[in-house]
Structure 1
Amino acid sequence: MNGRLLSLDVMRGIIMILLAAESAAVYTSLHTITDGSAMDAITQQFFHHPWHGLRFWDLVQPAFMFMAGAAMYIAFSRKKEKGQSWKQQWPHILKRCVWLLFWALAIYSVLSEKPVWELWNVLAQLSVTTLIAYLIIQRSAKFQVLVSVILLIITELAYRYSNIPGYDQPFTEHRNFGTWMDLVLMGKTNSDGWVAINFIPTAAHTIWGCCTGKLLISNKTENEKMKWLLLAGALATAIGFGLDLTGISPIIKRICTSSFVLASGGLVILMTAVCYRITDIGGWNKYAWIAVVVGMNSLFIYILFEIMGYTWINKAVAVFTMPLFGLVLPEQWAQLLTALVTLFGYWWLCWWLYKKKIFFKI
């Protein structure tokens, strides 16, 4: 893999495959089959928790933003070795953030069939967290962690003590400071309770990704790297769940409470440690390419399935597969196989681009 950290490429690829599966309707098809059975408890892990709680699917966006931070630090470090200073790299970072925001707005506008100003998309969030993380990318890990903690504290204080009439219930859906800020920034609110200012607390995920990238390419031994990853991951996870269990700060993904950011960030760091141990240390990478080919074109495939997945691709595939699978299978199972065929189509496209050495970057 040309000296790259395989673990990061694998993790990024897995994240994108999971997101592509959602767009292909794999999880909704599974839910249709398992609804009402004991298996549905597993299927529900692939949907966001409705409010207070944590499911596996709630870790995907933190992982996405964390990996972006890790990749940014590694790219920054390599360019710096070639003589490019922080100031010289700044225009590229700024341009990238502008493009991320553009694509976030483009996705919403295409799906709405009209121009819209909505900032809930992960790309819109990442456009801001990337800027925040880059501003302190050269500082020590201690300083970066301190800044991330300050961001969490600022968010907590804003939610708890802003005391805006009608929006003074910090952990109540549609009645919190984040919802009020949506009205200020966009003149609208999200029906599912998501808020745009999540970029403030979740900047911690991108910052921690930078710290992790710095650690993984450092001169520390593999055992030292594993020790720091496990320690940081376990500590953040314990604090996050501790804040929730003691009632200090409930874990709520949709408004990214400090407990959620810590718990999810800690779990993502632990996942990174496991992946690093398996691939980069253990060398168990025979099938790593399955994920890597998707991760290498992560932005392209994300934009593709977000804009065209639900609106066209899923329907186009179903035109051919549903009549065929419907000959021998019940409709629910035919829908699941159709979703899997769609997912394979996304993967095959990424594999083809990888073989042709075509990589879309901003």
Structure 2
Amino acid sequence: MQPANSRIASIDILRGIVMIIMALDHTRDFFHDTAMTADPLDTDTTTPWLFFTRWVTHYCAPIFVFLSGMSAYLAAQKKTPAAASDFLLKRGLWLIIAELVIVTLGLTFNPQYNVLILQVIWAIGCSMIVLGLLMKVSFKAILIAGLILFFGHNILDYFNLPGHIWKILFTSFGTVIPIGNNRFIFAFYAIFPWTGAMLLGYCAGYFFRKDITAATRRRFLLMTGSAATLLFIILRTINRYGNPTPWEAKQSGFNTFLEFIDVSKYPPSLDFLCMTLGPALLLLAVLEHAKGKWKDVVSMYGSVPFFYYVLHFYLLHFLLVIAFFLSGYTANEIVDPNIPFLFRPADFGYSLPVVYLIWITVVAVLYKPCKWFHQYRKTHVQWWLKYI
């Protein structure tokens, strides 16, 4: 059993894995030569290497959100229900502000904030607020709401929902909301489909209680992980429900396979969530018995996810500025009106091997800062550390 005051190693390892993989996608956005001009998942134009470079990062956001819910449950065991609910409400609001102020600046390097970008931190913040409110009702209410949102949100694919509010809540895919003449909100993450994943992650946290045996937890993870993965295969084969766009057969069997596994992340479809969270639950069962130095290294990133998440954007963008000027671009080319990131012209970039090299370097450089902050948080008790 796990001591009450310790972190769950398997959760930190899995979170660390997805944090490392996540940095690959953002490195590709900043540094790959076709990142701003082509869709890496377009089976008619992409290459297998580029496709899987983008596709594998699909696992990051849903696992991150699901584990956030699981961590919220475990943290709530050390508080009264009212205190746990109030903390989630405050932390959710803080994350929304952090997305708008801190993360957006790291992404854009635009101090005038002409573009505000709402991504996974925004979705987690909103979901925490919903979770905090539902905690005031009951665990059963959280489970029911999670199941309805998780399995039922794709019903809205069959309706034409008017207005920005519906899109932000359920179907957002790059929804652009103008604010005045020169500012825009880019809402990439619809709230409620992600909330469904967080609510079910919270409920799954029950099986990580210190009074639940490892055998019971392993059985739950294997059963639910297998069921979710099988449901993805069944729904995708039937090709009627679970994804906004059905797949189509291609000229080659390999391209048809790529089309089969290319499911909607924006918004996250039921197929997408089952495809990613199913294997994640299976891996979580395996990682409980992980051994070796590698797990300590990987879990270090997973133990300080928000710190790592913010820092990696600033480091990547700082490197982008250096590469921008070394490539011969001038100050007149810092702003591209079609791209929200400064210092990132559409025709800039490197080949995929260079992108991988930059990614590995960035992850390696961030290990020491993550280790320092992990130790700092263990030895300090300032109130603000609970929010980072």
Normalised by the shorter chain, which TM-score bucket? 0.7 to 0.9
Q: Equivalent residue for 2:238? A: 246
Structure 1 residues 181 and 290 mapped into 2: Cα distance closer, same or farther (>3 Å)?
A: closer
2:196 corresponds, among 185, 200, 204, to: 204
1: CA distance between counterparts of 2:104 and 2:17? Answer: 24
2: CA distance between counterparts of 1:318 and 1:116? Answer: 21
2: CA distance between counterparts of 1:17 and 1:116? Answer: 29
1: CA distance between counterparts of 2:175 and 2:124? Answer: 17
2: CA distance between counterparts of 1:195 and 1:335? Answer: 24
Tell me, yes or no, if the aligned pair for 1:65 and 1:205 is still in contact at 8 Å: yes
Tell me, yes or no, if the aligned pair for 2:24 and 2:356 is still in contact at 8 Å: no
Q: Equivalent residue for 2:48? A: 41
2:120 corresponds, among 122, 135, 150, to: 122
Tell me, yes or no, if the aligned pair for 1:148 and 1:207 is still in contact at 8 Å: yes
Structure 1 residues 262 and 132 mapped into 2: Cα distance closer, same or farther (>3 Å)?
A: farther
Q: Equivalent residue for 1:82? A: none
2: CA distance between counterparts of 1:185 and 1:331? Answer: 35
Q: Equivalent residue for 1:108? A: 104
2:81 corresponds, among 81, 86, 108, to: 86
Q: Equivalent residue for 2:363? A: 343
Structure 1 residues 139 and 242 mapped into 2: Cα distance closer, same or farther (>3 Å)?
A: farther
TM-score when normalising by structure 1: 0.73
Query: Whose helix proportion is higher, 1 or 2?
Result: 1
Structure 1 residues 318 and 206 mapped into 2: Cα distance closer, same or farther (>3 Å)?
A: same
Q: Equivalent residue for 2:332? A: none
1:354 Cα deviation after fit: 3.3
Does 2:190 align with 1:178?
A: no
Aligned partner letter, 1:269:
L
Structure 1 residues 340 and 29 mapped into 2: Cα distance closer, same or farther (>3 Å)?
A: farther
Q: Equivalent residue for 1:66? A: 66
Q: Equivalent residue for 1:170? A: none
Structure 1 residues 355 and 26 mapped into 2: Cα distance closer, same or farther (>3 Å)?
A: farther
Tell me, yes or no, if the aligned pair for 2:228 and 2:274 is still in contact at 8 Å: yes
1:118 Cα deviation after fit: 4.2
Q: Deviations over 1:254-293 (max 9, x none)?
A: 12122322332323222222222x23xxxx2443210122
1:71 Cα deviation after fit: 0.9
1:346 Cα deviation after fit: 1.1
TM-align CA RMSD: 4.0
2: CA distance between counterparts of 1:163 and 1:285? Answer: 51
Q: Equivalent residue for 1:297? A: 304
2: CA distance between counterparts of 1:131 and 1:246? Answer: 35
Q: Deviations over 1:276-329 (max 9, x none)?
A: 2x23xxxx24432101222222111211222x1332145559999xxxxxxxxx
Q: Deviations over 1:229-251 (max 9, x none)?
A: 11111112222332222122223
Structure 1 residues 221 and 186 mapped into 2: Cα distance closer, same or farther (>3 Å)?
A: farther
Q: Equivalent residue for 2:228? A: 236
Aligned partner letter, 1:108:
T
Tell me, yes or no, if the aligned pair for 1:237 and 1:262 is still in contact at 8 Å: yes
Structure 1 residues 351 and 311 mapped into 2: Cα distance closer, same or farther (>3 Å)?
A: same
2: CA distance between counterparts of 1:18 and 1:135? Answer: 32
Structure 1: tracts of 5 or more residues without a match:
48-54, 80-84, 168-173, 321-329
1:70 Cα deviation after fit: 1.1
2: CA distance between counterparts of 1:31 and 1:260? Answer: 24
Structure 2: tracts of 5 or more residues without a match:
41-46, 244-262, 327-349
Secondary structure, counterpart of 2:78 in structure 1: helix
2:23 corresponds, among 15, 20, 26, to: 20
Q: Equivalent residue for 2:280? A: 268
1:121 Cα deviation after fit: 1.0
Structure 1 residues 241 and 203 mapped into 2: Cα distance closer, same or farther (>3 Å)?
A: farther
TM-score when normalising by structure 2: 0.68
